[in-house]
């Protein structure tokens, strides 16, 4: 009898202890973390790159080789994993890495650091780090920098195809170079989109062909894409894209013949749009020819004179830019006059 009572008492005590633990947990208040949580992102082309981390303070401590030992795996921050996410495949220091989210770890040393991208992105720091889960390791050089109290990450030197992810703390920065094939990735994104609703309209096929033309890529595919667009709806826009592709392929006579027939039937708006497309790819003189033709065909339109003024401004001919902007100003509606007046002022002409 006594034994069964003891067991009964034991279970009561255990229940009370468990209940107390639950109540205690429920009564815990949220307080600020010592190492602040942060996130930085950068978009290159269509690719998003994001680093999530907790940044500790120096707080008067010796950091490198002491608080952060040399030649040991370090989490690159505080608390749970520092992570880095790529929405597309990229190259890190020239080496390929697939799209995904990775635990970001480092092995610091005095003259060279190992940067680790580990497939375990959910762990608490580097305590459960396992090298067999590494997706990639690269070597980088640390660089002396101005003192920084809080550890941080940033994206430096962004351009069309690359960016540097940079760790800064104490008197050190560690840059990690990231490269992307932006045009290839953009074409890949557009091809996927064309498998959906955009693939049923001429605009999507023209857009991917035009992108390939302007960026000198996928030329053979571009001709197939533009022919698909033409089969859905032949119009000024996609015919001019095809003319550009023919010219880029060395088929000048075919290109000129197509351009001539299309330009003779173009509307004011179509001509204007085509002129700006030429400006976008650096063909200023051809754009000026198109805009000039538009002023002859539509002399009563303020917009054609405005476009011609802009083209001469881009070309660097200040006098002609002023001349045609002034003509546009005299004809423009009230809601456009302030903008054109500002452009003229920038060119040294007060109205």
Q: What are the residue ranges spanned by the domains of the chain?
A: 36-179, 183-346
Helix (H, G, I), strand (E, B) or coil at 244: helix
Burial environment of residue 90 by CB neighbours within 10 A (0 to 12, 13 to 18, 19 or more): buried
User: By three-state DSSP, how is residue 158 classified?
Assistant: coil
pLDDT of residue 121: 93
Task: Compute CA distances 41 → 35, 87, 237, whole Å.
Answer: 19, 11, 36
Given a contact cutoff of 8 angstroms between Cβ atoms, the answer to whether 329 and 344 are in contact is yes
Distance from C-alpha of 300 to C-alpha of 289, rounded to nearest angstrom: 18
pLDDT under 50: residue ranges of the chain: none
**Phi, psi angles (nearest 5°) of residue 29:** -95, 155
pLDDT of amino acid 39: 97
The helix (run of H) or strand (run of E) holding residue 42 is: strand 36-44
Q: At CA 217, angle to CA 224 and CA 310, rounded to 5? A: 100
Distances in whole angstroms, Cα of residue 306 to Cα of each of 226, 302, 316, 333: 31, 6, 15, 12
How many residues are recorded in the chain? 351
Task: Give the separation between CA 89 and CA 179, rounded to whole angstroms.
Answer: 10
Cβ atoms of residues 275 and 310 within 8 Å: no
Give me the pLDDT at residue 6, please.
61
Phi, psi of 118 (to 5 degrees): -110, 135
The pair phi, psi for residue 39, each rounded to 5°, is: -150, 140
The pLDDT value given to residue 28: 79
pLDDT score recorded for residue 20 = 55
Dihedral through CA 130, CA 136, CA 141, CA 143, nearest 10?
Answer: -80
Helices (H), 155-267: 182-194, 202-214, 219-232, 236-248, 252-263
- Strand 83-86 and strand 95-97: the pairing is unpaired
DSSP assignment, residue 330? H
3-state secondary structure of 73: coil
Residues 109 and 71: beta-carbon distance below 8 Å? yes
pTM of the model: 0.78
- At 96-111, the pLDDT tens digits run 999 999 999 999 999 9
C-alpha span between 223 and 192 (Å, rounded): 18
**pLDDT for the residue numbered 4:** 56
The confidence score (pLDDT) of residue 100 equals 98
Q: Where does 183-346 sit in CATH, by number? A: 1.25.40.10
Question: Which secondary-structure segment (H or E) carries 41?
Answer: strand 36-44
CA angle 253, 254, 256 (to 5 degrees): 65
Reported as a single tens digit per residue, the pLDDT across 122-162 is 988 888 899 999 999 999 999 999 999 999 999 999 999 99
| Cα gap 53→80, rounded to integer Å | 8
Q: Supply angle C-alpha 323, 326, 331, rounded to 5.
A: 130
């Amino acid at each position: 009898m006594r034994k069964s009572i003891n067991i009964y008492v034991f279970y009561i005590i255990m229940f009370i202890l468990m209940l107390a633990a639950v109540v205690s947990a429920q009564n815990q208040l949220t307080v600020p973390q010592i190492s602040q949580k942060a996130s930085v992102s950068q978009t290159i082309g269509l690719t998003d790159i994001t680093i999530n981390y907790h940044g500790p303070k120096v707080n008067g401590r010796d950091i490198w080789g002491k608080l952060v030992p040399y030649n040991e795996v370090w989490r690159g921050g505080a608390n749970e994993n520092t992570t880095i996410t790529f929405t597309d495949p990229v190259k890190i220091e020239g080496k390929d890495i697939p799209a995904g989210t990775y635990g970001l770890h480092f092995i610091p040393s005095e003259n060279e650091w190992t940067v680790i991208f580990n497939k375990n992105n959910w762990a608490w720091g580097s305590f459960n780090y396992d090298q067999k889960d590494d997706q990639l390791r690269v070597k980088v050089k640390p660089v002396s920098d101005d003192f920084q109290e809080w550890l941080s990450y940033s994206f430096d030197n962004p351009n069309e195809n690359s960016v540097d992810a940079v760790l800064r703390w104490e008197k050190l920065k560690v840059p990690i170079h990231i490269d992307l094939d932006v045009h290839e990735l953009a074409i890949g994104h557009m091809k996927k989109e064309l498998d959906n609703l955009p693939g049923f309209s001429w605009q999507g096929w023209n857009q991917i062909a035009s992108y390939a033309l302007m960026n000198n890529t996928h030329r053979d595919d571009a001709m197939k894409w533009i022919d698909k667009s033409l089969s859905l709806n032949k119009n000024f826009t996609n015919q001019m894209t095809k003319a550009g592709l023919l010219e880029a392929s060395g088929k000048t006579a075919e290109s000129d013949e197509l351009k001539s027939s299309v330009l003779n039937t173009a509307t004011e708006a179509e001509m204007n749009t085509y002129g700006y497309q030429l400006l976008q790819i650096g063909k200023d003189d051809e754009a000026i020819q198109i805009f000039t033709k538009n002023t002859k065909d539509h002399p009563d339109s303020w917009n054609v004179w405005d476009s011609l003024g802009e083209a001469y401004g881009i070309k660097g001919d200040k006098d002609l830019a002023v001349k045609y902007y002034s003509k546009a100003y005299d004809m423009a509606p009230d809601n456009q006059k302030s903008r054109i007046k500002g452009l003229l002022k920038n060119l040294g002409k007060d109205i």
